[in-house]
Every structure is written in structure tokens, then in C-alpha cells.
A and B are shown apart, each in its own frame.
Chain A
């Protein structure tokens, strides 16, 4: 296949010329009514008063006369291909319009390919000055061609000689060079280490057809400075784009598409090439620039037409939708024009990819950037920021050339200030520690309830006196600053009292849950040098032997006899208040030490965010082994309110809601997992008490859970809290009204609280722009001192804060590296995405398994989900594990994910488990997770009964290659693909001809046992239809099969449609019975029509026809006219006969070639086992058709196959195709008045296939919807197609 065979048309008359690949592609687009991504090309010049009307008219006439483009037309050939030719007689004349109308006239100009002119020239003149407008069909022109035309007009204007292109058109590349170049690109485009760079997509956004644009004008100073640089501007901008994308994607090897053109070509020459860059973040801009120039040179040296590359890559299913690059960059320089002539049009290169960027250098040196992007895929603000980041990088390359790439700031200081800022709060905090703030209320409201626990009410006064007495006892035991006191008591009022006592004595409390594993508790009790342990008699045996601490049992009233007044102890801001042990997943728990100053500030700041008061009565459900559990009782007590402390660790939802009601709680703080149970209970019983606030946290909160609690728990205010222990309790909160909607897999973490800032940083400590994933860092005063006895780990996790000096004027401040991934959202809050150490990279994409897990958890029945990257036998793949009841099928979950997630996030396999494997510590045991594969079935050992079962089982096992398959296993679950199904059916019909089974039987009875029973009873359905989804109240969708398809191809589409949409698939007739020769289309559909007639009974329905199925659907619609209302006829990549077999397309042979081909045919016929079938088929051909058949054989690169007649053999397929072409030749598409929506695969258009323009056959057909990045075979499983088809179908059903 050769692309650039353009000849050199010097004269204004040319013979018929073939189109280039690119030109044929544009025609194919035009033919299905969808010119995009190509656009009509506009040239718009204005001329000032120095130019007379006469000169302008003369120049326009000269321009038209000299350039053959104004006399060029296309001619349609039989089979739908076009050829072009120029004829002097076709020269167009300019149309005179008022000057003000030119822009509108240009915008409204459209062309018809069939023989009409493909250019229009508008002219406006007054006495002096005027304007010229040229519109050209993109098949004839591109930006470079417009420049030539403008130059020709200018030359005529000034009376000089017209500039003539000197360079010859490139000659055809020899096929071995083409092959080498193809290999060069394959190695790059298939290399998963070179990322096809993408911008962050909007959550749940899909690439529709709508485009949007954005623009940014550059200051001319930088523009001129860039122009003064020795390197070409194109390389500078490409480098800047590479750098910005590196920062967005977090990957230094990446690629995007770069526009190319041959400015001297007389044919359209605009194209794109992939530009692969490797950027070193520690190198300065100029180093990267040199590398870019080398990469550009290499790309140009290996240039191939993009259509050729795209077609090659799309042969693989699952290839990237935007083969050449999701992002495309064109850099253009405005040409020189005579004085007084100004060009107004903006360049319009093909809008390929998710985002097209056009940089244009103006004649005055200024630079402008434009973006044209898929509207539904990106936030407009994201694209605008992309342009400004490009501008900043280019500016930095001039102003700070020595800065390493990784350190060029993308965010301004002001932006960082806003994004990182905490909740606004200017209140001064009380400098005293928390225990002093709580003690205040013992004096102010001594009798008021402070605690309710185990049925007992403690007043503020009682709590304070008891705590004071115990504190005095602690003092006698040497407790003071930096001395740890362990509180090993179950959650309750006494635990709170003992904690307050430890604080009052100046000690640091360590909460120890008595029922936690002994080894963990022993570590906690010995790690920090505990001086005193407060416990009960019943827990004494759980203490480590020989513990060197004083042990006080609350049962012995250890404070008895001690003074009841506050102990006089000075507390320094920097001394520790508590040590909290984290429950790390690996290694021993680490003690996090928190100092009094930051703790008191945090609690006061939080109380204001939570709007706490003396009226607050909170139920803190969080355990005392988490710091959040302590925040939630300290907060109400320090405000003079009260807390209801649950006396047992496991209250049922019923008990919890009852306690809230009984005690009149208005706040509750609950772990996220438990909150869901609570909301579910509330939904079932309708018994949620009225509350003011629920706060929750502990893990990612999915949208569905948030919606549930938002609806069912009656509280106006919700707070999602986030916080590593190292940053004190809940350093970040997302505070919202109930009913708030959010975008993303998890509820936002919100923003920082109090004297803190939250940042999203990349690996070089640079702030990430909004939407870009990085690690969450927390800084400010509200961070812990560090880890007890672990200075190295402390130094690693608490790092110098490089932002505080500039943003807050604080020096020597620290930042905590959270290890959590997040990104700033458009509103400045931070979204959680998973753990840094769980993030995986596959095929160049960074993937957050948490996002896939969240999608799995949205599916009904799934209670737990885990996604991980497995590497078995050196093969990396994503595997999802879900806990769900056995009725949940992996196949269905997979389709649900496909409808929800981008392609690169779809796991290679899913495994449904009844529970996750755990080790003795109740942690997930990753090593025990099973390998995915054909299901492990208990039935593999069930012996087949009787000869039929044995023979069938042997056949199935052999064909699926799954020796574990048992007689009660589902064929399709055990490795039975569509193709294998066809083979198995064919083989079974041969073995048991008395009961000819069809695919419908295999669908209905997918196990050996069931199918053997059918054979025994001799009851094959004989049905030609399969219920792909049997239930649903929407009108039925009937899917008509393409040639040689198994109908299972429609399952993915079915899964992507509304769950209430029933779908029926018809079986392909060529598989359904012994294929008869030359059966008419009307006969093929007769069975389908009878089925629809029987089933529809006056109800409306919709049709889908894929490929050859489109013809069947059309014929069925014709036969059912007036009987059944068809709400929509979806035509998927339906091609008319091409030049191969179109009636009237006379084939050409070289001298003697026809004789050679006939001899070869005879030779082959003598050897094939399908001789009788072939003879019959050839016998049915007329002379032209036989000649076309010979030509077809001659065009085939491969030798003729003789592996028939088995279904799925190459020869059988070949025979069916030729037979089909004959059937097609005899079929006339009738005019029908039905609503048609059609869909064309991008690849089919790029091949210039003769796609049917349904607007020619129905007044209610619309232009096709083009699905890029897929081909004729794969379109039916394509997500983007599914989304568009669903939207169209639902719109049609609404009428």
C-alpha cells in the first residue's frame, strides 16, 4: 500500500489521478457525512487602502488561473473510490460579497464530493482596499497549501513572478524501506516504557464527538527571545510540551504526535508523526532541547503516512485509541505578506487525538497557543492551565536556562498559597494545654454531665476531682515531663479519667487496648519506657513479665486519699502529651509522639471547624487505639459539652442508634466501614435519630456509601476526616452539607485544619498542578514530634518544609510525607487515590488499584475488592479479587468494569472468592491468593455418563485446551471463546447429524450434561435467536450478525446498555445450517423477520446491524414496513461493495496476467477439498464477476488456502466471503423511511472503505458517528461505540 504517489500537476489540466491514502480517508469521512477531524480550509486576507479594487480583482483572477486547485474536481468510480482531475473548464469564478460578509460566507461554505467544485473564492472590494476569502475542501488543501495560495495572490498583487514550488513530490518508497520503517515505529509504538502521554481525564468522562477550544496569547517579549534562540521554535515548543507532560504523567519517557508537512507540495501533505522523547528531570532545558532535535530528525527520517501506521497498529485488539498520540502538536509560522495585507484566518490542522495544540508564531514575533480538545474528556480549566504551563516553561527556558527540568515551577506562589491553605480561621488559640481547657468547665458548670458510659453519668466536677486525685498519685510515682503512662483499660469513663490524670501530672499517656494481641501490647508497654501502667485486676495477666513499671489497678481506687485540686504542674508546649502506636501493615507498631502545643491548637481549631459548643453531646465510636477516638471526646469536653462513651467495642447498629436517641446525642464520629452498616440499618428501619453532625474517616469513602449515609442518616452536616497519626488526629477534613455530590472514586479529603498546610508534591518536591497525581504532604505546626526511639525513620518521614518560609514566614518547619497519593481538585480540596507503595505501573500507565477496587465495590453483591499487579512467569498483569456470592460471575464483573473504566485500568483477570485469605494476624495473606485462570471447578472429577457425554467432553477439552473442564462446567467460563464455539458446534453437528445443534443450543445449555441431554431427546432448538439479555421493559433491540460471527460479540455491548434494555441476537445464517450457495438476502432474513413478527406483536423495537448484518437489518426493516415500528436502526460500519466486486468496476490486468491467474486458479482447484463448493460458486459468476474474482486472487499477497472445509478454516472463510459478495451484488438497497444512526470505525475510513452513506437511502438517517482508534472487527466491542450507541438508542426510545 503506497500513500504518497502524488504526481506533479504543473499544467491546469491533468488526467485522472488516484488519491493518496490521506485524500481517500478524507473522502471516506465526507461520504459518511462526518468531515471531522478534518475541516474546510479557509484563507481570509484583508487589504488596506494602498491596494486598488482593480489590482485586487486582477490578483484574484491570476491566482485562480495559475493554481490547478481551483479547477480540480473528484470523480466517483464504481466501488466508491474517487479519482481527481483538473480541467480548465472547471475554473471557478470569484463571488463578490460585501467585506463584512466574508467571514460568515467562508464559515458557511460546504462542498459536495460528487463532481462539483471543491473551492470557492469570495472577493470584496471598495474603491480602495478589500478582502479575499478562499474556502477549499480539505481533500485538496491544508495549511501549507493555503500558504502557497496566499503567496500566489500576493505575487500577483505586487506584479512579481509567482513563486513556484521547486521541490519535486517525493517518490514512492520501495516496499522494503516501508517495511523497515514500519518496524522502526512498531518497536516504539508498542514499547510500553514509552508512554502515549495523556492529560488527566475528567472523572467518568468519555471521548464524545464534541470539541472545545482554548487560546492563550503569549507576551511578545518571550516570543522574541525564543525566536532569537538558535534552535528552531518547533523544537523549543515540543521540548516544553514534553516537559509539561512529563510532570503531568510522572514519566520521563513519553510520546506525542507532531505535525508535519511539505510546504512545497501541490497536494495536501499535512500529516503527523509520533515524537518519542526521553527527558532527564535533572538536566537543564537546553540539554532536553538538543535531545528533542535529534528525536525530531529521527522521526522525519523514518516518516511513513500516519494512515499506514494506524492501520498496522489497530490490527491488535486493545491497541491505543490514538495510535499516533493522544496529544498532537502543530507549530506554524505565519508567512510574510506584502505591506497592507493581513491574514485573519487561524490554521486548522486535522483535530486528531484527545487534545490538539497549535502554536503559531506571528510575523511580529508574538506567539499564540491554541488547544482543540474532546470536550467531555477534560475540564476546560485543565486545558487553560496546560496552555499557561507551556507558556511558563517557555519563559523559564529563557529566564532561568540553568534550572533542571524537574525544578521548573508550574505553579505560582499565589496558586500554591491558595491550594495548600487550611480552612479560614483567624481566632487566637488559648495557649494552655487541653486538660486545662477541660478543667475550666469543672469550675464553670460543675454539675453538668461530662460523660455517659455504661449507664453512669459523670459530671464535669466528678471527672475533674477523680482525675486530679489520680494525677497526684502519679506525681508520687515520678510521673512528669516526657514520662509515659500506659492506660490499659477498656474504652469508658474511667479510661478518660485516667488519661486526663496522666496529662495533669505532666506525663504522656499511651492508650493500650486490653483485648489487642498480646505481642503487640507487650511491645507497646516496653518500647517507650513506660513508668506507670493503669489497668484492672482482670488484665494483669496480660502484662509482660518483669515489666519495670508501677502497676495501678483501677479496682484498688489508686487515687483514694489524694488531694482533689488541680496539681500544680507546668506544662511546656514541646513536651509530649501522648504516644499513639500505629497499626502498620508490616513490622512492629511505631509509637508516634505528639507534643502539647500542637495538640491543644489542633483541638481548638477542630472544635471551631466542627462548630462544637457547650450543647454538643457526641457519641465517639472510634476506638481508643486511634488518635481520632481521643479527639472526639476531648473536643466536646473542652467546650463544656459531653460525650457518650460506648462501653463495649461492638455495638450493633441498632444499639448505636438507640444510644444516640436515648442520650440525645447531636454529634457522632464513626469509622467509615461501620457507618455504612449504620446507614443500611437506618434505611431498613427508618429509625435514624435527628443529628447535627456525623464525622467519619479511617479509609476511602466511595460515592455510593456517601450517598447512602447522606440520604439515610438524618444530619445536615457531614465531615470526612483524614489524617495519619503523624499529623495529629484529623489534620484534613471535608466538611459538607448532606446531599453533596462529588466527582471521583472516593470522597475528597478536603483541606487542612488549623495551623497546617496540605500539599500534593512530586518526587522532586515540586507542587503538582490541579488534577496531577502526587504524594500528599502535610506541614505546619500540627505535626507530631516523630517516632519514639526511631530517629532515622523520623528523619525520613518528617522532612524540611521548603514552602513555609515563603508562604507563612516560618523557618525550620517540617513536612510529613504521608505515603498517600492524591491530587488537587478544581475546588482546591484534595482527593485520595491510594497508597504510594501500592501504586502500580503497567504498560506505561500509573494505575491506582484503589480506583479499580472502588469500581468493583459499586457492583451489586461485591463486598470486598482487591486489585494487584501480579507477576507470574515474568508476565505482568492486573488481577482483581472480589468477595461475592457465587452467583456473581467474573465475566459479568469484567464487562461492568469495561463500561466504567478506561482500557488501561481493566484487569486481565478477575477472581471471585468467598472470602479473602488471611494469615494468623487477620491480615490479608497475599501469597494465598489463587492464580487466575479457568475456574477451579469441583466438578472436574465428575465422570461423564454414557458415550455422548464422554465424546462431547473430550471434544470440549481438546478445543478449549482446558483439561480441568467438567461435565457440569459452563463452556464459556472455561475457555470457550467465540471462535472455539463455532468449531465445537461444527464438530458436534458432524458427530450427531440427527440433532443439528446451533449456537443457540450452546447458549441455552452451556454444559456437557445439559447439551448431551438435548441430544438424547433430539430437541435442538432450531432457533435462530439468542436472548443476550432476556429481561427489561424497554423495547427489544435485535442484533443482526455480521458474517461468521458467533453472536457473543454483542455481549459487551449488551452489558454497556441500560440494565432495563432487553437484547436479542440473531445467529449468523452461514453457521446456522449447511451453507447454501447464493441464497438471497430476503431469504436469509425470513427467519429473523418471522421471529420479530411473532415476538413484537405491535410493540416497537430497535435494530442493530454490524457489517454484513447491516444489510440484513435493512432488508428485515423493509419486510416489516408498516407492521412493526422501528425506533432506531443502528448501522455499524456497514460497507457497500468495494472496487473488488462492485458491478461495473472493470478490473485491469497486465499483459498476460489474466492467463497466469487462470492457470493458478485451476492448479489450486485441482488440490482443494472444497472443489465442489468452489465449482458451484464459480459457475454462478457472470463474466465480469469472474474477471473480478481473478483480479481479487491476483491482489492477494498470501497463496490461496486449502485448509477447508471446516468452519473457521481460512478457506471456508474465503468461500463465504466470495459467496457473500455474489449475494450482495444481486441485492438492491431500497429506499426506506426509517430512523438510521450509523457508526464508522476510524480504521475503515482511513482505508477509504466504501462505507454506506445511509442518508442516501432514508430521509431519517443522520451523518455517521466516527469511532476513532478501532477497526471493522473490533468496533462492536469498543467502549466509545457502546457509549454513543446507548445514548442514541435511549434518545430514540424517548421519541
Chain B
């Protein structure tokens, strides 16, 4: 909003194989794991756009496999 937004972000992935982005300056919440080096917000989103091809959560993928 009105505070300047944090500049650098990282790609993160959780235990269910869901992806997201997170400010690089903040500790990554439990259950999530950093998947990239710090980068601008848009770069992180572009990377996820390319990497996250299967939207199914991990447990469903396993059942359907």
C-alpha cells in the first residue's frame, strides 16, 4: 500500500507443491521452502509461471499417478 514495497522477493514452494512468492527480507514461514535467489517481484512470478505446470497438489498427483 503506501509503504514502499519490499524490493526483493524469492520463489517459495510448500509441502503440497504449491508455489508462491515471499519478501526476501522476511523469514520464510514454516512449511515453505525457498526455491530461488532474491529477485524482483515480476521475475519471481515469471519463473513460477514457467515452472509450475501441474497445478495439482502433491497428494492428488500421487493418487492419480
Residues of A within 8 A of B (CB): 250-252, 281-282, 404, 406-407, 481-482, 572-575, 593, 595, 762-765, 774-775, 785-786, 788, 790-796, 798-802, 804-805, 810-814, 836, 839, 841, 846
**Of B16, B25, B29, which contacts A802 at CB under 8 A?**
B29
Cβ-defined contact, A764 with B6, below 8 A: yes
A794 partner residues in chain B, CB cutoff 8 A: 19, 52, 55
Contact indicator per residue, chain B 41-57, by CB within 8 Å of chain A (1) or not (0): 10011101101110111
**Of A573, A792, A846, which contacts B2 at CB under 8 A?**
A846
What residue of chain A has the Cβ atom nearest to residue B32's Cβ? Answer: A800
Cβ-defined contact, B1 with A763, below 8 A: yes
A781–B26 CA distance with the chains assembled, in angstroms: 23
**Of A281, A406, A814, which contacts B20 at CB under 8 A?**
A814
What residue of chain B has the Cβ atom nearest to residue A764's Cβ? Answer: B3
A518–B13 CA distance with the chains assembled, in angstroms: 38
Cβ-defined contact, A791 with B64, below 8 A: no
Cβ-defined contact, A798 with B20, below 8 A: yes
Cβ-defined contact, B55 with A791, below 8 A: yes
B19 to chain A, nearest CB (A): 5
A1203–B21 CA distance with the chains assembled, in angstroms: 69
**Of B21, B26, B28, which contacts A795 at CB under 8 A?**
B21
Would you call B37 an interface residue if the criterion is a C-beta within 8 Å of the partner chain's C-beta atoms? Answer: no
A455–B64 CA distance with the chains assembled, in angstroms: 43
Cβ-defined contact, A774 with B3, below 8 A: no
B17 to chain A, nearest CB (A): 10
Q: Which of B15, B27, B44, B55 has the most CB of A within 10 A?
A: B55
B12 partner residues in chain A, CB cutoff 8 A: 800
Cβ-defined contact, B28 with A800, below 8 A: yes
B30 partner residues in chain A, CB cutoff 8 A: 805, 811-812
B38 to chain A, nearest CB (A): 14
**Of B3, B11, B18, B64, which contacts A814 at CB under 8 A?**
B18
A282 partner residues in chain B, CB cutoff 8 A: 6, 25
Known: A250-B3, A252-B3. A791 touches B60 (CB 8 A): no
What residue of chain A has the Cβ atom nearest to residue B45's Cβ? Answer: A792
Cβ-defined contact, B21 with A799, below 8 A: yes
A198 to chain B, nearest CB (A): 15
A1271–B1 CA distance with the chains assembled, in angstroms: 36
Q: A251-B2, A574-B57, A814-B20 are in contact. List 20 more A-B contacts (CB 8 A).
A: A252-B4, A482-B60, A572-B60, A572-B64, A763-B3, A763-B5, A788-B55, A791-B53, A792-B45, A795-B21, A795-B45, A795-B52, A799-B22, A800-B28, A802-B27, A802-B29, A811-B15, A811-B29, A812-B31, A839-B1
**Of B14, B23, B46, B60, which contacts A812 at CB under 8 A?**
B14
A800–B48 CA distance with the chains assembled, in angstroms: 14
B57 partner residues in chain A, CB cutoff 8 A: 574, 595, 785
Cβ-defined contact, B22 with A791, below 8 A: no
A406–B64 CA distance with the chains assembled, in angstroms: 45
A593 to chain B, nearest CB (A): 7
Cβ-defined contact, B29 with A800, below 8 A: yes
Q: How many residues of B contact A (CB 8 A)?
A: 41
Cβ-defined contact, A791 with B48, below 8 A: yes
Q: Which of A282, A792, A846 has the most CB of B within 10 A?
A: A792
Residue contacts A-B, CB under 8 angstroms, 13 given = A282-B25, A595-B57, A763-B5, A764-B3, A792-B48, A792-B49, A794-B55, A795-B20, A795-B48, A800-B29, A804-B29, A813-B14, A846-B1
Cβ-defined contact, B55 with A762, below 8 A: no
Q: Which of B3, B41, B45, B52 has the most CB of A within 10 A?
A: B3
A836–B3 CA distance with the chains assembled, in angstroms: 13
A785 partner residues in chain B, CB cutoff 8 A: 55, 57
Cβ-defined contact, A250 with B45, below 8 A: no
Cβ-defined contact, B29 with A406, below 8 A: no
B14 partner residues in chain A, CB cutoff 8 A: 800, 812-814
A791–B52 CA distance with the chains assembled, in angstroms: 6
B32 partner residues in chain A, CB cutoff 8 A: 800, 812
A814 partner residues in chain B, CB cutoff 8 A: 14, 18, 20
A252–B3 CA distance with the chains assembled, in angstroms: 7
B48 partner residues in chain A, CB cutoff 8 A: 791-792, 795
A841–B2 CA distance with the chains assembled, in angstroms: 9
Cβ-defined contact, A572 with B20, below 8 A: no
**Of A250, A786, A800, which contacts B55 at CB under 8 A?**
A786
A865 to chain B, nearest CB (A): 24
A764–B44 CA distance with the chains assembled, in angstroms: 18
**Of A250, A575, A810, which contacts B1 at CB under 8 A?**
A250
**Of B18, B23, B26, B60, which contacts A798 at CB under 8 A?**
B18
B16 partner residues in chain A, CB cutoff 8 A: 574, 812
Q: Which of A251, A406, A785, A812 has the most CB of B within 10 A?
A: A812
**Of B1, B4, B5, B6, which contacts A836 at CB under 8 A?**
B1
What residue of chain A has the Cβ atom nearest to residue B47's Cβ? Answer: A792
A811 partner residues in chain B, CB cutoff 8 A: 15, 29-31
A850 to chain B, nearest CB (A): 15
A572 partner residues in chain B, CB cutoff 8 A: 59-60, 63-64
Cβ-defined contact, A765 with B59, below 8 A: no
Known: A252-B3, A593-B55. A813 touches B45 (CB 8 A): no
Known: A251-B2, A574-B57, A814-B14. A791 touches B19 (CB 8 A): yes
A805 partner residues in chain B, CB cutoff 8 A: 29-31
